[in-house]
Each structure stands twice: as C-alpha cells, then as structure tokens.
Chain A
Amino acid sequence: MINWLTQIVTLTRFSLGTVPQRKGAATAAAVGIGGVVAVLVGVLSIAEGFRAAMSSSGDDDLVIVLRSGADSEMTSGLSREETRLIADAPGIARTADGPLASSELFVIINLLKRSTGTDANVPLRGVTNGAAVRGDLEIVEGRAFEPGRNEVMVGVGAARAFAGLEVGQRIRVAQVDWEVVGVFKGGGGAAESEIWTDAAVLQPAFQRGDSFQSVTARLTSASAFAAFKDALTTNPQLQVKVFKQNEYLAEQSSMLTGFIESIGVFIAAMMALGAVFGALNTMFSAVAARAREMATLRALGFGSSPIVISVLLESVILAVAGGGAGALASYLAFDGFQAATINWQSFSQVAFAFSVTPPLLVFAILWAVGIGVVGGLFPAIRAARMPVAAALREV
C-alpha cells in the first residue's frame, strides 16, 4: 500500500513538474474552469443573499398567524376580534404592557427605484406593537413614528434602494402625505426592505375598516409553539394557520431562491460542459506529450492504477487552482453587492446583498473537482491502457 502511494506521489510530482512545459493549455483549462465557478458563485450568491435577507433574524420563538387558506399576508385577513383572541392565546410572552403580539396590515405602494428610476412595489406595513415583538429593531437615524400620525420609518434596505425615503422627506400614498421620520435596521427578516407605520393610521387610508392581515407574536419559548398552534387551530372561533416566522419567510422566498438556484446551476452546467472539453483537451495533450515517459515508468514496474490516479490528480489540481481563483474573483466582485428585486410571492421589492458564503465556496470548488475528474478520467484511462512497448517508441 505504501509502495502504491509512493508511486502515486512520484507520478503526480512528475506530472505536475511538466505543467510549465504545457502552461498555455493548462492555463486555458484552469481559466475555463475558473469562469464556470465564478459564474456559479455569482448567481448562487444572489439566491443566498435573498434567502438571508428574508430570514436572517427569524427567531425560533417568533410566530406569524394568517387566515387559513391564505398563502401570504397579501391574501390574508383577520378581524380585530380575531387578533384579540390570538393575542390572548396561551404561550405568548407578556410584558407589563400586555402580550407581545402585533396586529399588522401589509400593503404595497409604488416608489421609484434608485438604480433604474422605474416604479417598484414596496411593502408598507402597519403595526400595532411591531418593534416590541421583534425586539432587535434599532433606529439608526431619526426616530420611530408616533402612533396616530401620518409618519413612517423605513428599513435601511428600503432607504438604500428607493428614492425619496430620506428622513424629513414626504411620500404621497393613498392621497395622503406621510413624513419619513426615521430609518431602522433589524426587525426580523425582510423588515429592512419595508416601510413601517401605525396600523391605526394605515387602516383608514387604505379603507381597511377595522381589519388586519396578520398577527406577529413572540412566544415564551420555542417549545411553546405546539401548544400555541393547537390552541389556535382548535379554537372554533378562529380559522387561522400558524407558522414559525423563519419557516414562513423561508417559504415566502422559496420560489425566487429556487428559480435563481435552478438558473445558476443550469448556466454553470452549460459552461461546465465547455470547461470539461477544455480539461479533456489539456489532459489528452498532456498524456500524449508524456506517452514515452509514462511508458518508461510502466516499463520500470510502475502500475497502471497509480498512473490513472496521477493523471486524475493533475487534472483535479489544475481544476481546483482555476476554480479557487474563480471563486476568489467572484467573492471579491459579488460579496456584499447591494441589490433589490421583487419577491413574486409578496409582489414587493426585497432589498438584499449578494452573499458569497463558505458553503457556497465549498460547493463551487466541488464543481471544479467534478469538472477536473470528468476532464481527466478518459485521458487517464488512455494513459494506463497504452501498450508499453508501442509507447516506448513514441518520440
């Protein structure tokens, strides 16, 4: 076994030692694979960033309640009486001011996107107790809106992505002017892409009477979820469904992230096909150029399988070098890149940053390894099968 490993190490060192003599073809193959990895990482970083924006702070004890049959807050509707019953359910955390539950409205308004100057759908959320329930909300500029007044505070993502949301500006929504009084961050998942106001002011502006669309609440602990859910779903006065907020947000982003991931993998697969041919070409020419040396080694007694593995290893090392460079380039180019896109499930814009995560980089390098293996396998088999006596005559 040691002997076999020694053979592999020797042959691989020999193979890699000849790379400078083939630097043109080797570089072309590595760059091709680097391109595949860069595109794959770039596209998937969009999906990662979007998913992170949708669910970054979804605590396990944060829940959202919708009308049963509703797919999202957009299609949900709850009366004040129903929201009161929900807030009184067992398992909800309480403070001196009452239960940590916020009855909320969710409407879509039109604002101009800074990047393109075109109209975009922006979520406007009316809350009754939103900040206290989320807990991690932080005002980074200005102040929070005052209940009963036509004031809004905007998430940092929304402030960055949409025009006219600077503190002190006014936006006109539903024939009413609303003053922007603050900018906040945190607030749970996609909240940073939203504009928040007092639900009691938003209801008449949008002729919603005394109805809401959802209740977001904090439980005493994550383990209280089952009892809370049971209490609501078995209550004959309520027809609701209950989600943990992080699961709800993940589900809400699943269509877009799934689409982006499919597109990313599809594009990368197409490019990978080209890169495989590049690697095949490089490795076939490498094997052809070294036919006599390999035959010499086999004549000396080196086995076929170490030759196969050494050729494969060279191919994989070239691929990982190219893939690593591609992943690094992609990280430098895309990580943290700010963007906003529409979430098809809420028809509203979500501001997010491209996110090149370590698992994504590992995934991309595994692609490079895969390309290297496929690109090196056939040349490796050819190298091992070449008749020794014939190959020794190669010049």
Chain B
Amino acid sequence: MSGQNGALVHIEKVNKTFRRGAEEIHILSQLNLEAPQGEFLALMGPSGSGKTTLLNLIGGLDRPTSGSVRIGDEQIDRMSNRRLAAWRARHIGLVFQFYNLLPVLTAERNVELPLLLTGLSSSQRRRHVEAALSVVGLTHRAKHYPRTLSGGEQQRTGIARAIVTDPTLLLCDEPTGDLDRKSGDEILALLQALNREHGKTIIMVTHDPHASARATRTVYLDKGRLSSEKPE
C-alpha cells in the first residue's frame, strides 16, 4: 500500500497548535516524516514533546492544524469523520499504554471488536480471533475477563485486538509503559516478531531506550521538530 516515494507514511509540513484560553501552544512545527512499509519506527522524546499527538495524527484520531498526512495513497487529514472512522477500522491497529480493554467483555470478545466493523460472519470472526490470540500466545486465556489477566496478558490481548483485522499500520503508544521489565520485554519481542515475521509496519511511541532498541529506526521529537539524533 506504499504511496509517494514508496513511503507508507508521508507527513509533510505538519503544524499542530492547541489553544489554551488566549494562549496558543505549538506542539508540532513544520514537521516532516516518512516511514516505508515494513519499518519498525520508534518515536522518542521527552514528556510533552508531542509524540502521542503525532501518533494520533498518523492514526487519524486527530487532525493537523495545517500540513498533510498521507498514509499510502490516501490523504487522511481531508477525510470526513465518518470516512476517517471507516478508514481507521480498515488500516490502523492501535495499542495503548493502559490497554483500553472493555472490562465487561472477555479477552476474545475484546479482540473481536474491530471485526464487528467488517462484513465477516460470526464463524469467520471466530477464526480470526483464534489466530490473533494464538499469535500473541493467549489462546488459553480467551474466556477470561481483563480484570483476571496480568498487565502483560492484557497488553497482549490489546495487541491481538490491534492485529486481528490485519491492518496496514500498527500504532503503539507507550506499549510497555505500564508493565514491569519482564512483561515489557515479552511485549517488545512480540512486536518485533510481528514486524520481522509478519511484515507489519509499526510506529511505536516510547521514552524507554530499552524499547526503542528493538526498533529498526528511532527518531526523536523535541520542541515540535523531528531529528534522527538524540537531542542534548
């Protein structure tokens, strides 16, 4: 699904400004970013540097104040909310820091959620869910509710939910931020395997150098701008 110049993600001259009362806060300034298909990109930077904001722009969860966000062949910043929601369902897998599982649904029902937006039959959905849970090694916990799962298991459920539709792009926002080192390592190994073995394009926000070491490339965000060098 590569777009211009073979890049899957193509961000050009993006500005993002928030207004707090009379004050304007510039989060991203004239930001450019390209990520080819199959890349595992780590996005690092200090707190408040705009990492999550950039990830939200790539995932179509937010819109830039100016500039263009193109994923593959589609310029998503110009899409209507309705179209954007449908596009997200088709192309984006999201992994959150705090898992964001629905507490009233079992692991397998949580994983099934994105499939409800497709035209798949219930038996097809079941097969996809089983496959996704198997990839993350959680088949034996399928019937468990999130409150009975460990943090690592919850995050693996979150990853299964993110990959169950076989999305174009996997966006992870601090996926190990709420986990101990051992569980975090397992999650990072899983993401790495998804990238290497399944060819998934992954963009991961993190402030943990240990996590970014697993990525194929790391970029740093500081004062609204990106660089490939770690800022002083």
| A residues neighboring B (CB under 8 Å) | 2-3, 6-7, 10, 14, 17-18, 292-293, 296-304, 387-389, 392, 395
Contacts and interface: CB of A to CB of B under 8 A. Distances in A.
A389 B56 contact: yes
B189 interface: no
Interface stretch (B86-94, B203-211, B212-220): B86-94
B17 to A, nearest CB: 14
A192 to B, nearest CB: 57
A301 B114 contact: yes
B85 A14 contact: no
B140 to A, nearest CB: 24
B81 interface: yes
Contacts of A389: 52-53, 56, 61-62
B96 interface: yes
B100 A292 contact: yes
A14 B104 contact: yes
A301 B85 contact: yes
A176 B5 CA distance: 115
B96 A388 contact: no
Contacts of A299: 59, 61, 88, 94
Interface in B48-102: 52-53, 56, 59, 61-62, 81-82, 85-86, 88-90, 94, 96, 98, 100, 102
The 9 A-B residue pairs whose C-beta atoms are closest, nearest first, are A301-B89, A17-B104, A296-B100, A389-B62, A389-B56, A301-B88, A389-B61, A301-B117, A388-B61
A299 B95 CA distance: 11
Nearest to B101: A296
A14 B104 CA distance: 7
B1 interface: no
Given A293-B103, A301-B90, 16 more contacts: A2-B119, A3-B116, A3-B118, A3-B119, A14-B105, A18-B104, A297-B113, A299-B59, A299-B61, A299-B94, A300-B113, A301-B85, A301-B114, A389-B61, A392-B61, A395-B98
A267 B105 CA distance: 42
Contacts of B90: 301
Contacts of B114: 300-301
Contacts of A3: 116-119
A-side interface mostly: helix
Contacts of A298: 85
Contact of A7 (B98, B102, B103, B117): B117
A122 to B, nearest CB: 63
Nearest to B94: A299
A224 B110 CA distance: 72
A289 B118 CA distance: 28
Q: Please tell me the size bucket of the interface on B.
A: 20 to 34
A302 B100 contact: no
Contact of A392 (B86, B88, B100, B113): B100
Contacts of A387: 62
B86 A296 contact: no
Most buried by B among A299, A387, A388, A395: A299
B61 A296 contact: no
A238 to B, nearest CB: 75
A238 B117 CA distance: 79
A304 B81 contact: yes
Contacts of B56: 389
B100 A293 contact: yes
B116 A10 contact: yes
Nearest to A298: B85
Nearest to A305: B82
B85 A293 contact: no
Contacts of B116: 3, 6-7, 10
Contacts of B86: 301
B213 to A, nearest CB: 27
Contacts of B104: 14, 17-18
A301 B88 CA distance: 6
Interface in B110-162: 113-114, 116-119, 161
A292 B98 CA distance: 10
Nearest to A387: B62
Contact of B117 (A14, A17, A18, A300): A300
A211 B69 CA distance: 98
14 contacts: A2-B119, A3-B118, A6-B116, A14-B104, A296-B96, A297-B102, A297-B113, A300-B114, A301-B117, A303-B85, A304-B81, A388-B61, A389-B56, A392-B61
Given A14-B104, A18-B104, A302 B117 contact: yes
A14 B88 contact: no
Most buried by B among A7, A14, A304: A14
B35 to A, nearest CB: 20
B153 to A, nearest CB: 18
Contacts of A297: 102, 113
Nearest to B100: A296
B191 to A, nearest CB: 19
Contacts of A296: 96, 100, 102
